Amino acid sequence: MVAVWLFMVAGMILIMIALGGATRLTGSGLSIMEWAPLMGALPPWSEAEWQRLFGLYQKIPQYELVNHGFGLDGFKQIFWLEWAHRLWGRLIGLAFAVPLVWFWATGRISRALRPRLAVLFLLGGLQGGVGWFMVASGFLPDRTSVSPYRLVIHLTLALVLYSAIVWTGLMVLHPWRDKGRKRSALDHLALISAVLVGLTIVAGGFVAGLHAGLDYNTFPLMDGALVPAGYADLHPFVQNLAENVAAVQFNHRLLATLTLVCVTTTVAVGWRGPCGTALSRALIAAGCAVALQYALGIATLLLVVPIGLATLHQAGAVVLLTTQLLLLHVLRRAACGQMRQDAPCSIH
């Protein structure tokens, strides 16, 4: 029951990340200019309240420079998406807190697990504060979107929280005891793959923050070259990694390609060795997820970032991360003698 609960919360976080991508793509994230954790759960019901909120929005640069004159009906369209995004975050908090109290009170959570779950709950609350910290950056003069740096911080914390909840759920469902055995080459490959997936998603956050996907819409070349001419235009050089459109997009492409190669290599190495059904399924899931995600990334780029496809690409990144966590857990169980690993890779 505890594992199912954790996986359900993780699923809600996955949806939350996709919703966050949609709000960014549609420019909806700046439509609500008030931080009201409790009262903000209620939508505006009167015309006077709608006019008040619209009046606040009309004072920020995004309205003046991007959406000037689109009227109350246009404001309502972007408002409802951001409101749903925030409401979903509140629901995640309830979905975590209420069962946590019940499981804790009824003794269904071990003493060793309680501190970890408490920390995860606090991280979830922190994520809400970081979300407002990110949104507030979009209200600054001459800004029409949020700070890429704050966006990446918000995304990274979401990934950390999601990964920790998924891993905890896997540990509750299939616990293992570390017997101190040395890790194999496959273990190291799987770990490197997981790290590359995380780095690629973070790099994608900078692409999103700079709207870098709207430029260099060819593949594999960028403006006719493998490495774009403007890669190192900013000084100092480190500034290019987060603020130069050409460099940010190239880095994301490079990391995505390295991820594809590493995950595919991991699957190939794992498939050649002895493994049981659980490992073979994890390998298949990882291989399919990385191939689909890479294809989604190319399609999103070539089609100049359509909202639906780009949102699917962001959700696919989290799915790919999930397969890497699953693979790591299955391999660790096998290394600790908790699984049989003496059959050829196949699914029956």
pLDDT over 90 percentage in the chain = 81
Q: Mean pLDDT across the stretch 289-295? A: 98
Paired strand residues for 222: 225
Predicted pLDDT of residue 141: 86
Q: How far apart are CA 41 and CA 91, in angstroms?
A: 10
CA distances, 211 to each of 102, 132, 175, 216, 246 (Å): 44, 20, 42, 11, 11
User: Residue 149's CB: how many other CB atoms inside 10 A?
Assistant: 15
Residue 142 gets which letter from DSSP?
T
Where residue 176 falls among pLDDT bands split at 50, 70, 90?
Answer: confident
pLDDT at 340 over 70: no
Provide φ and ψ at 245, rounded to 5°: -55, -45
Helix, strand, coil distribution of the chain in percent, nearest 5: 75, 0, 25
Q: Mean pLDDT across the stretch 16-26? A: 93
pLDDT over 70 percentage in the chain = 93
Q: Name 2's Cβ contacts closer than 8 Å, sequence gap at least 6.
A: 103, 108, 109, 113, 169, 172
pLDDT at 92 over 90: yes
Q: Mean pLDDT across the stretch 99-122? A: 95
Q: How far apart are CA 319 and CA 291, in angstroms?
A: 12
Q: Name 97's Cβ contacts closer than 8 Å, sequence gap at least 6.
A: 121
CA 215 distance to own-chain centroid = 22
Contacts 24+ apart (CB under 8 A), 18-21: 18/311, 18/312, 18/314, 18/315, 18/318, 19/81, 19/84, 19/85, 19/88, 20/85, 20/154, 20/155, 20/158, 20/314, 21/208, 21/310, 21/311, 21/314, 21/315
Predicted pLDDT of residue 274: 61
pTM: 0.92
Q: Mean pLDDT across the stretch 252-269? A: 97
Burial 91-115 (b: 16+ CB within 10 A, else e): ebbebbeebbeebeeeeebeeebee
